[in-house]
Structure 1
Amino acid sequence: MAGLIRDILSTLSRDGAPARPAVAEQDALSRLDERLTSFSQAALDSRAPLLIRPAECAVWDGNPRDQPGLNPDSCRSLIESIAAEGGNRIPVLVRHNPDASEQPYQLLVGSRRRFAIDWLNHNGRPELRLNALIVDLSDEEAFRLADIENRERADICELDRARSYQQAVDRFYGGVQSRMAEALGLSNSQLSRLLALAQLPEEVIGAFATKEDLKVRYSELLTPLLRRAEQRADLISEARRIGQEQQERAAGAGSMLPPATVLSRLREAAARRPRDTSDIEILAGGERIGRARPAKGSIMLDVTIASDADLDALFAALKETILMARAAA
């Protein structure tokens, strides 16, 4: 079975495209879902799929999906489909739990299916079990497989995905962004933009009504402003004010501020101080590697490069900083 799953990892498209618009799950299976369904129906590897209780598997902590965010409303169509079919037609993927006690399995792929079966067990269908396939995969392979599935789901927000990538780059790829980008089929610039979103200050994230409102394109606009000390202070102060206002509105004082309004106010706050020619930090992989100083007709760079530096990430950071310095000159 592990060999078949690794074949999926090598053959499925991983182009980094955004999720397609939401469609009823039973009407638009992803290619991963189709492959898993065919494996289950054919009982490959001479083993029938396992039927387990949802409580028997712990959700693996490397999965990017926000488990507390799952609820009956967001999973309604899936719950109805599973109830009508008498179980999950698309099997989940589990592996043996190395810390097995009451939960002998780790769930790698299929969090929504597990939630739906569990909800049905507690709401009139106690006989249903979770259709599962056992695989033997490394953490890195499990992360890639979960990433392939979750890219096709409209309910995985960009911030959750970005945060999972931020954790994964160190956990699975030794902190080397280019290794991770290659493994996931992403360009270095795509990965850098996602990591920048994950690195936004909590005050800025809290200014938006929901984390789903935060988009990668917003971090592209805000990150350069956060690199200048005075602009950063002004932007974060405004973010705190907006966050407080959002809390008051949520308590009943009015509708929540839309993301475009929040973004505009944050950028305006950072623009109140006149631009100067102070140094601009050069960041690569979240680490400060030097400074750039814009001057009339030139840009001075002072960079310290480690012998094992990720050159792709370094060149991308230098290009971004030079463009910022040109705008400030």
Structure 2
Amino acid sequence: MARKRILQNAVTAARDKSEETTKSEGPAINPFAQREGALSDIAQGRIRDVRLRMLDPKTCRMWEKHNRIYDLLTAENCADLINSIRAQGKQEIPAVVRRLKGDPEGYEYEVISGARRHFAVSYLREAENRKEIFYLAEVKDLADEEAFRFADLENRGRKDISDYERGREYQKALHDYYGGNMTRMAQRMEVSKALLSSYIAIAKLPREVLDAYGDPREIAVRHGQQLSPLLKGAKREKVLARAQEIAKTQDQARALGGGTFINGAEVFKLLKGSVPKAPAEKKAVKEGRAGGGMAFLTGRIEGDILKLEIDLEADPSSEDLAAAVVRAYERMKGKRA
């Protein structure tokens, strides 16, 4: 019964599509041939229902606003997914694509979400000749802004998408869909404006800083948050000069092939260190009154320590000294908070 229902749905979908095409483009497509094609796909297991498709990944291209940097995908960093699909003999979780019309390069679908799955299936089909493995995808009719929000929701919890990739995606979307209005974008995405701003700060880092990282995917949100203030005013030149030095080292490692890159955490530390910290001001309070009205106790915070200096010549009573210590402690604790 289930198979019969699937067949009926597929035939109905083919007929509806044919009628729609006929109205808009004329009688160029034979509805019977289209129906036979749909039935053939079902018989061969290439259609699981009227929405899921078992595609040859070569018929799909990445959406130009996809949140992943596809060129950085390799068999090594996709090994977990490749191994899983190889073991299962199929892709379990469908990607999301939308249909293309009249693509000049002949692609039939555009990948909205599922770049790693596309790479993994392509690798298995080409490198290991596993032609029985297809790219499982759900076809959706999505406008660009809808596609952006859909892909973001699906991938927001994924750890294998870097903060930098998200930052690039959000910066493009801010310009393309929301007219630069970050408040409106945050509302549409249902996230805080502060979080959105933190991601976009990464995408705004200058080229010199990006080049300093061996892999831009190692740039974390906190890197952008803490480096952005250092890229203003007189500090900027120092940070950029240090970034250029680091980038040269990274280029040398890349040229050696097996060279050791400076990892993202270390690059961040080096860039922050290019601007010397201003010496921390020592907070101090004075307490107690002795002869002449001068304070006999001074309290200072150094790190997490409260240091007390007592003027021995003042010769305070034990009660006055105890009271002065308590007041100094309470005042300094309040300052630290």
Between 1:112-121 and 1:52-61, the stretch displaced more is: 112-121
> Within the alignment, does 1:240 sit opposite 2:272 as a pair?
no
- What is the deviation of 1:198? 0.8
Among 155, 163, 167, which residue is 1:162 paired with?
A: 167
Q: CA deviation at 1:161?
A: 0.9
Equivalent residues of 2:51, 2:139 under 8 A apart: no
Structure 2 equivalent of residue 126 of structure 1:
131
From 202, 217, 221, the equivalent of 1:216 is 221
Match of 1:56 in 2: 59
> Aligned-pair distance for 1:222?
1.4
Any stretches of 5+ residues in structure 1 without a counterpart? Answer: 1-42, 275-329
AA paired with 2:205?
L
Q: TM-score, normalised by structure 2?
A: 0.63
Give the secondary-structure state (helix, strand or coil) at the position aligned to 2:129: coil
- Judging changes above 3 Å, is the alpha-carbon distance between structure 1 residues 242 and 55 closer, same or farther for their aligned structure 2 residues? same
Partner of 1:75: 78
TM (norm. structure 1) is: 0.64
Deviation digits for residues 38-81 of structure 1 (CA, Å, limit 9, x no counterpart): xxxxx77xx25222210111111121111112222222232232
Residue of structure 1 aligned with 2:176, choices 168, 171, 186: 171
For residues 154 and 111 of structure 2, what CA distance do their matches in structure 1 show? 13
Match in the other structure for 2:103: 100
1:248-271 CA-to-partner distances (Å, cap 9, x unmatched) read 344459643344443333233333
Q: Flag the 1:233–1:209 CA change in 2: closer, same or farther, 3 A.
A: same
Greater relative contact order: 1 or 2 (C-alpha under 8 angstroms, separation 6 or more)? 1
| Residues 164 and 218 in structure 2, CA contact (< 8 A), matched pair in contact too | no
Would the alpha carbon gap of residues 79 and 268 (structure 1) be closer, same or farther in structure 2, given more than 3 Å must change? closer
2:122 partner amino acid: D
Which residue, out of 85, 88, 92, partners 1:85?
Answer: 88
The CA distance in 1 between the partners of 2:130 and 2:170, in whole Å, is 37
Shift of 1:169: 0.4
Q: Secondary structure at the match of 2:205?
A: coil
1:273 CA drift (Å): 9.8
- CA distance in 2 between partners of 1:70 and 1:254 (Å): 20
Does the Cα contact within 8 Å between 1:92 and 1:132 map onto a contact in 2?
A: yes
Q: 2:192 aligns with which of 187, 196, 217?
A: 187
1:149 counterpart = 2:154: yes
Identity percentage of aligned residues:
34
C-alpha spacing 1:251/1:62, structure 2 compared with 1 (3 Å): closer
CA distance in structure 2 between the partners assigned to 1:262 and 1:133 by the alignment: 41
Aligned residues: 230
Q: CA deviation at 1:221?
A: 1.5
Task: Tell me the amino acid that sits aligned with residue 121 of structure 1.
Answer: R
Pairs within 5 Å for 1:225-236: 225-228=230-233, 230-236=234-240
Letter in 2 for 1:271: P
Instruction: Give the letter for the 1:134 counterpart.
Output: V
Counterpart-to-counterpart distance in 2, 1:110 and 1:268: 39
Give, in whole Å, the separation in 2 of the partners of 1:87 and 1:52: 12
How has the CA–CA distance of structure 1 residues 53 and 254 changed in structure 2, closer, same or farther, with 3 Å as cutoff? Answer: closer
**Are the equivalent residues in 1 in contact too, given 2:91–2:133 (CA < 8 A)?**
no
265 and 84 in structure 1: CA distance in 2 versus 1, 3 angstrom threshold: closer
Partner of 1:37: none
Shift of 1:272: 8.1
Whole-Å Cα distance in 1 between the matches of residues 150 and 222 of structure 2?
A: 26
User: For residues 146 and 156 of structure 1, do their structure 2 counterparts lie closer, same or farther at Cα, with a shift above 3 Å needed?
Assistant: same
Secondary structure at the residue paired with 1:183?
Answer: helix
* Cα distance, 1:143 vs structure 2: 0.7
Give the superposition deviation at 1:247: 2.3
Asked which structure has the greater CA Rg, the reply is: 2
Q: Is the partner of 1:271 in helix, strand or coil? A: coil
Query: Which residue is equivalent to 1:199?
Result: 204
Query: 3-state SS of the aligned residue for 1:265?
Result: helix
Over aligned residue pairs, what C-alpha RMSD do you find?
Answer: 2.4
The aligned counterpart of 1:293 is none
CA distance 1:59–1:259, change in 2 (3 Å): closer
Q: How far off its partner does 1:94 sit?
A: 1.3
| CA 1:268–1:82: 2 relative to 1, 3 Å | closer
